[in-house]
Structure 1
Amino acid sequence: MPPAHRTVPRPVFHFTPRRNWMNDPNGLVHHRGLWHLYFQYNPEGPDWGNMSWGHATSPDLEHWTEHAVALSHRAGEQIYSGSIVAARDGEGPLTAYYTSAYDDGHQAQSRAVSHDGGFTWTPAPENPVLDRGSRAFRDPKVIRYDAEGAARWIMLAVEADDRQVLLYASRDLRSWEFQSSFGPLGGAGVVWECPDLVRLPLDGHPDDERWVLLLSTNEVGDDTRGEGSSMHYVVGHFDGVAFTPERPRPTRLDHGRDFYAGVTFDNAPGDEAVMLGWMGNWRYADAFPSTPWRGAMSLPRRLSLRTVDGVPRLVQQPPGFVRDRLARATRSTFPGGPDRPGITLSGHSLLELCWDPAATGALRLSLHGDTDARVDLQHDSGSLRLTRSGPAAEAVHPGFPSTSTVPLPDATPARLLLVLDGPLLEVFVGDGEATVSNLVLLGGGPVTAAVRTERAAPVTAAVADVAPATP
């Protein structure tokens, strides 16, 4: 392994397992004051396999405690992705639905119940409880639907290869009745995974709501663009039976290469929509050089729906602790130009930049650490481009060096929030109207952020470094 790869540090304020492989978030639920994160986990090694549900909790979405494996693989059955719903009185049991992936190749949905707040689970003796005899029927997401004074549960699951979401309804979380299907939609050459359906007010108006269907799309076959994994969403309407889209094509949810399988927490306080995703890509997840852990979660993101250029768009904002740290940070304003000195970051840092593109012209930001990899951002002419390059990046996988492009409205002033946590980089554009999430290889020491503009006009920067937690 090249020396640069040995310096990949563990993130400080994103969740990673103590050791071994992790991918999709599962069973996200808020219950009795704790945020519960379950996740696809291999308890026996650093590569994908032996799929089980790992478990971690947080009181604040910043500090996480890892617990024992919640649902373990067993002979002939792996435990794939799924979801958890909480009793609304906070006192009843938690109910989990997950995909049983059997050694004979078929996939079906199973149920488990927890009576101790999510720490131990009892699978239903009649499992599987929903079986189509399919090899690609997976990823059940159960949501609550209230209408006409009666509540019921809706399950979304995918026929992944067919690019279809199947919707079922239940009154008791035990028996399920098929309602409708949605899809295929958008480009071929991908499978659909990890659906979610989220109700959000448009522009904050509670009397004007939309439903947002979240989809993870993973490239398959030889005729692909080479991006691997990504997420999309569709805005529409849901009447408890069928989902009807407003527009005929999905919209990209995150423009980076490393945000996948994002789903929302059940029972979040204030009915907020809080999404968490896996920062990885199936093209090179098994090659990313981290040890003894492999796999990391994104920051939790609060979702809202806003009209942008006449179209409802999903807005993703970082959790409150990020804004709290930035509010306490010292802000400095400096004249931009082609020869500004760099800003030194610890490598576990928040960096917010604000400027007027009409005055500065194009803005370029380069991140350099103690490796021969680099990250470059360029903001100009209605677009943001993020490029990761260099020998260390090339050594990971041929698909790792890349450029991500985000179309931007010609609006001023401009604002970028960079969240850098070791090998994890999340960029929030404006107020969260666009995001770019990428794994990066900048080493284990300080990182220099060099800001350059075409013309010498003011740029304001706020920096907050995050210290590692004390063991």
Structure 2
Amino acid sequence: MIHLTPERHWMNDPNGLVFHEGLWHVFFQFNPEGNNWGNMSWGHASSPDLRSWTEHPVALRCTPTEQIYSGSIVHDRMGEGDELRAIYTSAYSNGKQAQSEATSADGGMTWTRNPNNPILDRGTSDFRDPKVIRCADAEGRERWVLLAVEAEDRQVLFYGSDDLTTWEHLSSFGPTGPVGVVWECPDLVPLPLDGDPARVRWALTLSTNPVGEEPDRDGSSMSYVIGDFDGRTFTAEDAGLRRLDHGRDFYAGVSFADAPGVAPVMLGWMSNWRYADQFPSSPWRGAMSLPRELSLRELRGRAHLVQRPLGLDEALLHSAPSSLPVTAEGTSWSLGAHAVLELAWDPRETGDVKLVLRGQDDFVDVRHHTDSGELTIGRGGRASEAVHPDFPSLISMPLDASAPARLLVCLDGPLLEVFANDGEQVASHLVLLGGGPVSASLTTERPALVTAVVAALTQVRQH
């Protein structure tokens, strides 16, 4: 697999994403004792290329009175020495949640907790998931800004600091959007609209998880808001939340600190709290998405978040595209359990297009409906039905009904990610097609040419 999974045991939210001394470091919510949620600690893996991963010993381990919840890491070049500093949520056995600190002088391999923890405490029970960024205020003064949530209140709180230790409350954002959910894992990134540095917008991302006696059966998901941030206050361009990933299984995504290059890189957890503890995988349970490079594109008069997958170019470059005549009878391929497909067509010529992936028991049905422009993705079968009543599903995402369509489909064992039109729309799904051959069939409503690239993913063994 090219996706990051632990060698064994439970994984959920990515934490402390940082690029440091030539390595991409991913810390993550981890149960070092078993395959279900609990004993929350920080696992750790690193990669030189975001494809091959080396797992390291547990970075921050829970204690009988403190679980280590989500947080972030920054490279502190301003303090004494040259340290990585982790700001994370301490979830105490008395029910309180507050923000704590640990430092590392050896590139993230070992950590020392601050004896004065917690460093930021509101005395509440749902104050969590700090993300720390570096930015300038309206006067041009650079400092650290921390975002965290009051989860039940559906608010993102902003704090400022010069030393990562003393924090001043700056402002808050929310509540907005659906009720009956908690907000978690916020992030804030600046993005030039259509690549124009004079048109920078800020994307505030967050995750929502249904709560209450009758929670939404679709479960958890990620959203974003486009707006402006002046170093103190985030101001949204329009009300409400917009879906970041239309699939059922993308949550808690955050960006890497100090990523090389211009664009932020996001990583998310590929699961859903509705059935995360029931998905059949062993000896590990939980995986990260493909890393995604973020940008802003103006679509139909609005700034729209675009997500381009990283790590697939190598597979696609070694496979030549071919133009296939496709009819209602279709064309088909036999794939392994780890494959990538790139398809392109003109819906004015093809009419409706359908791609079906089939494994031993289950299927994935991807359709472009030219009357509505929607792209729908369904998953189902006997294995899906056995996971959870809400696991079989049908989702949709909007596409232009008349413009040329392009689809990038990555199947990596039980992990399926679909990127439409160069990342304008994205859907991430857990699937149960099995470890054996997978058949792929493509049909069109009318005879037409479809450009296709089909390649095997190079499997990378983790250490």
Question: One fold, TM greater than 0.5?
Answer: yes
- The answer to whether the 8 Å contact 2:411/2:417 transfers is yes
- Residue 65 of structure 1 deviates from its aligned partner by 0.4
Alignment correspondent of 1:254: 245
**Does structure 1 residue 19 correspond to structure 2 residue 8?**
yes
Are the structure 2 counterparts of residues 168 and 470 from structure 1 closer, same or farther at C-alpha, using a change threshold of 3 Å?
closer
**Does structure 1 residue 50 correspond to structure 2 residue 42?**
no
Are the structure 2 counterparts of residues 89 and 130 from structure 1 closer, same or farther at C-alpha, using a change threshold of 3 Å?
closer
**Does structure 1 residue 85 correspond to structure 2 residue 71?**
no
- Residue 149 of structure 1 deviates from its aligned partner by 4.4
CA deviation string 1:36-93 (max 9, x = no partner) = 0000000000010000000000001111100000000012000000000113599720
- Residue 463 of structure 1 deviates from its aligned partner by 1.1
Alignment correspondent of 1:365: 355
AA of the residue aligned to 2:374? S
Aligned CA-pair RMSD: 1.3
- Residue 345 of structure 1 deviates from its aligned partner by 1.2
Alignment correspondent of 1:423: 414
- Residue 452 of structure 1 deviates from its aligned partner by 0.6
Alignment correspondent of 2:119: 129
CA deviation string 1:277-334 (max 9, x = no partner) = 0000000000000000000000000000010111000000011x31232122121211
| Number of corresponding residues | 458
SS at match of 1:96: strand
2:219 paired residue among 214, 228, 231: 228
Alignment correspondent of 1:298: 289
Alignment correspondent of 1:335: 325
- The answer to whether the 8 Å contact 2:315/2:458 transfers is no
- Residue 340 of structure 1 deviates from its aligned partner by 2.2
- Residue 271 of structure 1 deviates from its aligned partner by 3.8
Are the structure 2 counterparts of residues 15 and 470 from structure 1 closer, same or farther at C-alpha, using a change threshold of 3 Å?
closer
- Residue 408 of structure 1 deviates from its aligned partner by 1.3
Alignment correspondent of 1:94: 84
**Does structure 1 residue 115 correspond to structure 2 residue 105?**
yes
- The answer to whether the 8 Å contact 1:88/1:267 transfers is no
Alignment correspondent of 2:185: 194
Tell me the TM-score normalized by structure 2.
0.97
Alignment correspondent of 1:152: 143
- Residue 470 of structure 1 deviates from its aligned partner by 5.7
Q: 1: CA distance between counterparts of 2:356 and 2:220?
A: 25
Unaligned runs of 5+ in 2: none
Q: 1: CA distance between counterparts of 2:87 and 2:433?
A: 39
- Residue 141 of structure 1 deviates from its aligned partner by 0.3
Q: 1: CA distance between counterparts of 2:230 and 2:269?
A: 30
- The answer to whether the 8 Å contact 1:109/1:138 transfers is yes
- Residue 455 of structure 1 deviates from its aligned partner by 0.7
Are the structure 2 counterparts of residues 23 and 455 from structure 1 closer, same or farther at C-alpha, using a change threshold of 3 Å?
same
**Does structure 1 residue 432 correspond to structure 2 residue 423?**
yes
Are the structure 2 counterparts of residues 457 and 144 from structure 1 closer, same or farther at C-alpha, using a change threshold of 3 Å?
same
- The answer to whether the 8 Å contact 2:246/2:427 transfers is yes
Are the structure 2 counterparts of residues 286 and 385 from structure 1 closer, same or farther at C-alpha, using a change threshold of 3 Å?
same
**Does structure 1 residue 345 correspond to structure 2 residue 335?**
yes
Are the structure 2 counterparts of residues 357 and 296 from structure 1 closer, same or farther at C-alpha, using a change threshold of 3 Å?
same
- The answer to whether the 8 Å contact 2:52/2:461 transfers is no
1:275 paired residue among 266, 269, 275: 266
CA deviation string 1:441-469 (max 9, x = no partner) = 00111111100101110011101102333
- Residue 341 of structure 1 deviates from its aligned partner by 3.3
AA of the residue aligned to 1:166? L
Alignment correspondent of 1:210: 201
Q: 1: CA distance between counterparts of 2:100 and 2:408?
A: 41
1:63 paired residue among 30, 35, 52: 52
Q: Which runs of 4+ in 1 moved over 4 A?
A: 88-91
Alignment correspondent of 2:442: 451
Q: 2: CA distance between counterparts of 1:264 and 1:197?
A: 9
AA of the residue aligned to 1:424? L
Q: 1: CA distance between counterparts of 2:255 and 2:262?
A: 11
Are the structure 2 counterparts of residues 197 and 368 from structure 1 closer, same or farther at C-alpha, using a change threshold of 3 Å?
same
CA deviation string 1:137-192 (max 9, x = no partner) = 00000000124443100000000000000100000111000011110011101000
Q: 2: CA distance between counterparts of 1:467 and 1:149?
A: 46
Q: 2: CA distance between counterparts of 1:446 and 1:330?
A: 22
Question: % of aligned pairs identical?
Answer: 60
Alignment correspondent of 1:308: 299
SS at match of 2:197: strand
- Residue 342 of structure 1 deviates from its aligned partner by 1.3
SS at match of 2:317: helix
SS at match of 2:277: helix
Tell me the TM-score normalized by structure 1.
0.95
- The answer to whether the 8 Å contact 1:189/1:223 transfers is no
Alignment correspondent of 1:73: 62
**Does structure 1 residue 379 correspond to structure 2 residue 330?**
no
